[in-house]
Structures are given as structure tokens and as C-alpha cells.
Structure 1
């Protein structure tokens, strides 16, 4: 079975909930294996809201936290995700929108493009023997489907996390260098002043212990 991260996007919120219910039913019947799933919506202000979730086919919103689905949702809700979601102007179901998403290098960016402002989506980690089950489900509800291998998405999430940590470390280094240049004289003064106060405190503690 292929392990994929599926994004089913809809213009109507109710369709995303129906898709979640039908996906859980398909899992119960053994036609797919549902690992994790969550329903999210993006407001017209670009903000992402988590609506509902499932883990192994049961209603358990916390179940997807700490998983690949949770990591992707976290990225989609971050600054880049808000920007992409807010700027996506094409209507859900528009083939042009899907083409644009497919041409994006970043897989998370592709997913973000499939959840523009005003859309609701079901993001799920599933194991499927054939794509027809989910493709037919989406087609019956008028949804847009984006399917990417879990392994590829996980690799990108790991890379983006590492890049973010490296960027934060570099930002701290640059800030430290700027501070050293801008505050060099004052830092030396503060250092000496602090040493005097620290010595005074140590003497008072010494006297206290001697009593």
C-alpha cells in the first residue's frame, strides 16, 4: 500500500466534514487505512483554524498532534502559510489553481495553495492500495485532491525545520555582533559597574555568615 498525505479542499465547510465521515467509513470497511486526519479552514483574513480531527478512524483531535499531519498544519498556520493562503485568488476546484499548485517546488507550498482564503480542507495521512477510493470520494463532493508521498513530505518538513533553526541561530549571531559594535563602550562600563556591585554583595554575604 502507498502511504500518502492527502489534501481534499472544498469551498463548502460541510463538504469537508462529510469527506472526513466518508473517509472514516472507508477505513472501517478496509478500503483504506486512515492514520491521521484533520479538518482545517482558512478565513478570508488568511488565518488557519483547526476544526476537527481523527486518528486511526476515531474522533480524537489531539491524536494528530506530534505527527506529520500536525507538523504540516503548523507550517500552514505560520507566516508563510498565511501569506500563501491569503494570496491564493483562484476558486476551489479551478483546474488552473491545481496546475499552479502542482508547479510549486515546495510540497508544503503546494498544500497551502490548495487551501486558499475561504476554503475548508481535509488533510489526512492514509495508506491506500489504489487512488480510486479517495479520488471518487472527492469527485462526488466536488473537491480538489492533492496527493503526495508521506516520505517526501516528511523529508521537506525535516529540512524546513532544520533551516528555521539555522536561520534563528544566524539571527542571534548577527544580533550579537551588532550589539557588540553599537554598545561596546557601554557594555564595558556595565561590566565594571556590575563587578563592583557583585563584589559588594559578596562582602555583605561574607559578613552575614561570620555573624
Structure 2
């Protein structure tokens, strides 16, 4: 049997269904690495409600792992910069927002697709697992009347790296533009001040 490591996103109509699926998945997926129940608040940011890790001692933490990075990009500050976080007022989006519509950004649609599956006020179950039988996760989603989205782990990791690179580049550009604007303002101020030129 082929084994594929995937990031799975289960989206259910009700929070109770998400919690029930989370409780079941540790017994259903022998290749489970990490899992997290997330909630999207009124500002569009994802909050982690519960977590699981197969690594001893890390059950309450996703830091440093692929799943934690995916969640941070999909629903955290990076998601805001990338324009993937719904629910924010237009004035709340910072000037360093990254344009991901061009191929040069290196970001594919995988993580954007995951973000779009979680509405404001909704809950979802994120899973990082090595799947032997895809039917196991498919049946879990169907049993709780939810939907399941798969993204290959390699693709998700590439998107995470590209997102971090794109936001760093955007931040550099924003700093450069800010410095240019300040220099232009200082030149204008100097020209408008007759005492700045010394005696004629």
C-alpha cells in the first residue's frame, strides 16, 4: 500500500461535530502526527482550541511542526498580510499586504484553499498524517456530515516557506518606500523654509 503524508482539513457544520471527530481520529489514523481543533474568531484569526501530537511531551504544542506553521500562515498574521484572513475591516489590513496573484510570489493556492474552507465563527479540524488508506479520513468526514480537503505535505511545506519569503520581501519594500517618503517630505520642508538655505 502506498503511504502519503498529507495535511487534512475537516470542516463541519457544528462545533460539536468537530470535537467528536477530533476525539475519534487518534484511534482511526495510525499514521497521525498532529491534529488541532481551530476556531475562526470575529476578526478572522484562527484560535487553537485543542491539540494532539504523537511526539511524547508535545501533546499541547504544535510549535515547530508543519501543522503549526500551516495554521499560522492560514489564519494568523501572515494570513492577514497574504489577504487570506476574512472578517477584517479594510482599514485593519496593513500596508505591507502581499500580492500573491503573480507567479513570482511562489505561493500556490493550497493554503488559500484551506483558509477559504473556514468561515468566520466556524470551527475545523486540521490533521497532519501519513495516510495508508484514504477511505479512513473520507469516512470520518462523511460520518459527521463534513467536508475533507487534502493537501500533500510537501506542497503545504513549500507554500509555508514561500509565504514567509514573500512577507519578508514585502516588509523590506514597505521600509524602503517609507524611507523614500520621509526623504521626499524632508526635501519639501527644506525648500519651503527660507532660513534653511543660509544667507543669500
Q: Output the TM-score relative to the length of structure 1.
A: 0.70
1:136 aligned partner: 139
1:127 aligned partner: 130
Distance 2:84 2:20 in 1: 25
1:42 aligned partner: 40
Q: Say whether the 8 Å CA contact 1:84–1:113 is kept in structure 2.
A: no
* Per-residue deviation, 1:186: 7.3
Q: Say whether the 8 Å CA contact 1:38–1:61 is kept in structure 2.
A: no
Distance 2:133 2:187 in 1: 65
52-61 vs 168-177, greater mean Cα deviation: 52-61
Q: Say whether the 8 Å CA contact 1:39–1:120 is kept in structure 2.
A: yes
Alpha carbons of 1:185 and 1:42: their partners in 2 closer, same or farther (altered >3 Å)?
A: closer
Alignment pair present for 1:112 and 2:115: yes
SS of the residue 1:65 aligns to: coil
SS of the residue 1:61 aligns to: coil
Distance 1:164 1:173 in 2: 14
Q: Say whether the 8 Å CA contact 2:10–2:126 is kept in structure 1.
A: yes
1:54 aligned partner: 52
49-58 vs 66-75, greater mean Cα deviation: 49-58
1:33 aligned partner: 31
Q: Say whether the 8 Å CA contact 2:42–2:87 is kept in structure 1.
A: no
Q: Say whether the 8 Å CA contact 2:87–2:120 is kept in structure 1.
A: no
Alpha carbons of 1:172 and 1:44: their partners in 2 closer, same or farther (altered >3 Å)?
A: closer
What runs of 5+ residues in structure 2 fail to find an aligned partner?
A: 90-107, 191-200
SS of the residue 2:119 aligns to: coil
* Per-residue deviation, 1:153: 0.8
Cα deviation digits, residues 32-82 of structure 1 (max 9, x gap)? 3111111001235533221000001878221x1122211121122332342
135-144 vs 113-122, greater mean Cα deviation: 113-122
Q: Output the TM-score relative to the length of structure 2.
A: 0.74
The partner residue of 1:156 within 152, 155, 159 is: 159
Q: Which runs of 4+ in 1 moved over 6 A?
A: none
1:17 aligned partner: 19
1:69 aligned partner: 67
Distance 1:166 1:149 in 2: 26
- Cα root mean square deviation, aligned: 2.4
